[in-house]
Chain A
Amino acid sequence: MNWTVNDLHIILVGVLCAMACALPGVFLLLRRMSMMGDAISHAVLPGLAVAFLVSGSRASWWMFFGAALAGVLTALFTQWITKFGKVERGAAMGIVFTTLFAVGLLLIEQGAGNVDLDAGCVLYGALEYTPLNLVTLFETEEFLIQIPHAALVIGSALLLNILIIGIFYKELTLASFDPGLAETQGFRPKVIHYLLMTMVAVTTVAAFEAVGSIIVIAMLIVPPATAFLITRRLPLLIGLSLALAAASAILGHLSSQALPALLGLPETMSSGMMATTSGFLFLLVWLFGPQGLLKKQSRELVAPPTP
């Protein structure tokens, strides 16, 4: 393969995006609501479309606001339908996000059909084109450091997620483990719940344009799920999720360039391959990890219980 600075840029965007998604993904997994990430990442579409129609521009604060609102509404509607419609939560989620996603598609086709906000881009993104839109970080006579604009956007989302989890680590953990105790101690688990949903929505939007929803959904769910096969220590779980997410992005891009060539095919989509790689890593850990299927004696993740 021909290694260029473009590959570096694509990997940078991929890694930042994967890590930004994996962070809230850990807490979705712990709350047993990983699919909420799937739902929200689809349902932000009408928010994006409406914000675009109102403001007339992409990549604006309107888009973030619209999408974040749509994300929170997804969580809210799901809650309502589960409660008042007496529908099982998975089904309620399905009702909400497919409807919102479809509305979003219609809005885009009708209102923004001739602009560069199209449905295809939403699904698989345009990772290959991110190196075309560069911003200069640092410039002297000898040095010029440029990164893709998308890296800046997603990097900000990653930073925001690190900050929020850093600040609310204790509250997020408490509300995820025992919402009843959180409530009686006055920590408002509902507020924390919607904080998490907003994080997911904002991350999704930040990642959307460049990498598309496939990789967002994969990175929200798969790296934390893989890490959960390896450890039961929360700080380690978060660290491992980040590492696995980054590894999926790097290995994914490399294999998207190298693997098809082995079969005599042209290079394939990076984002698709990054998502595939995360699934492959899960499979590897599932087979060969500490509790792997192929281990003769499956080891406990922590010290064995004493009688």
Chain B
Amino acid sequence: MRPEHPPEFPLAIHDLTVAYHRKPVLWDIELNVPQGTLAGIVGPNGAGKSTLLKACLDLIPKTSGEVLIYGKPYEDQRDLIAYVPQRESVDWDFPVSALDVVVMGTYRKLGWFKRVGKAQRQRAREALEQVGIGHLADRQISQLSGGQQQRVFLARALVQDAEIYFMDEPFAAVDAATEQAIIELLQNFNAKGKTVLCVHHDLATVSRYFDHLVLLNMRIVASGPTSETFTRENLHKTYGGKLNLLDDVAEALKNVGR
């Protein structure tokens, strides 16, 4: 029987399989992400976390399956989506300023041929202010620290003014101030009823940041509210026998009182 994927879900994935060079990376993914959640995707290296995001966004081909955004194919719903790729995915020596990069987030609404105007620049400046680096707007991007670069990406996602945010490891290798800025931004999104899907690598912080959790290791191991899914048993299934890691998890679990 076909699992239920009602259209009120911002993201519904049905029977998704993805393979690279005939080797499967994701198998039979069935997933519903509820409206207004901060959803974390966790799993070991090579579990297919980034691949899952990219397959949803048609950045890599699906071997089979279907991805629905509010019940419709992604192609019809591009306006509702913002993607924050991994920081290393772009060339930070590229000759553009922080402001230029943030303005790129407005291009979808601007459309082909149209030029960037005052309104777009103003919007981008506000977004940079909001993530706390307004004073760096005209700085060339190679002159920014890793955390500042990550915030440029977040500001760009902000100006996209989307309903669903796909984020690939925004917390990877950032300073404490940036981490705080990201958390505030996520909570801001949450308060506005937006949905966030975020690839995450640090199990110790999972229960603090996310109210919904997807445990992934080629297949979906578990998916649901963090309070129900973030269990020793599920983590064991996801991470297998990587015990030293599981000791950290035990520590993390203690923090949530389970």
Contact = CB atoms under 8 A, between A and B. Distances in A.
B59 A177 contact: no
A173 B96 contact: yes
B83 A184 contact: yes
Given A177-B101, A185-B108, A30 B57 contact: no
Interface string A224-236: 0000100111100
A301 interface: yes
A144 interface: no
A174 B90 CA distance: 11
Contacts of A261: none
A180 B53 CA distance: 11
Contacts, number: 81
A30 B100 CA distance: 15
Interface stretch (B138-146, B196-204, B232-240, B247-255): B138-146
Interface in B89-104: 89-91, 93-97, 100-101, 104
A233 B96 CA distance: 6
Interface string A31-49: 0100000000000000000
A186 to B, nearest CB: 5
Contacts of B58: 183
Contacts of B82: 184
A178 B145 CA distance: 19
Given A173-B96, A185-B78, A180 B85 contact: yes
B90 A177 contact: yes
In this complex, the member of B90, B95, B97, B145 whose beta carbon has the largest number of chain A beta carbons within 10 angstroms is: B95
A302 B59 contact: no
A177 B91 contact: yes
Given A174-B104, A232-B95, A301 B140 contact: yes
Contact of B96 (A32, A177, A183, A187): A177
A262 interface: no
A110 to B, nearest CB: 40
Interface string B89-127: 111011111001100110110101111100000000000
B57 A184 contact: yes
Given A30-B94, A231-B95, A232-B95, A180 B143 contact: no
A170 B115 contact: yes
Interface string B181-208: 0000000000000000000000000000
Interface in A135-181: 167-168, 170-171, 173-174, 176-178, 180-181
A170 B100 CA distance: 10
Given A184-B81, A303-B143, A234 B104 contact: no
A282 B55 CA distance: 43
A303 B54 CA distance: 36
A177 B143 contact: no
Contact of A305 (B78, B93, B110, B144): B144
Contacts of A187: 107, 112
Contact of B95 (A170, A185, A234, A300): A234
Given A32-B91, A177-B96, A186 B78 contact: yes
B143 A178 contact: no
A305 B94 CA distance: 16
B140 A302 contact: yes
A86 B82 CA distance: 32
Nearest to A176: B94
A305 B145 contact: yes
A67 interface: no
B192 to A, nearest CB: 21
A252 to B, nearest CB: 26
A275 interface: no
A109 B107 CA distance: 50
Contact of B139 (A168, A170, A173, A303): A303
A178 B139 contact: no
A107 interface: no
Closest 8 CB pairs of A and B: A185-B108, A302-B140, A232-B95, A232-B140, A234-B95, A305-B143, A184-B83, A180-B85
Interface of B: 21, 54, 57-59, 78, 81-83, 85, 89-91, 93-97, 100-101, 104-105, 107-108, 110, 112-116, 139-140, 142-145, 156
7 contacts: A170-B107, A171-B112, A177-B104, A181-B105, A184-B81, A237-B95, A303-B143
Given A171-B107, A178-B85, 18 more contacts: A173-B96, A174-B107, A177-B90, A177-B94, A180-B54, A180-B85, A180-B89, A181-B83, A187-B107, A187-B112, A228-B95, A232-B93, A232-B140, A233-B95, A233-B97, A234-B100, A305-B144, A305-B145
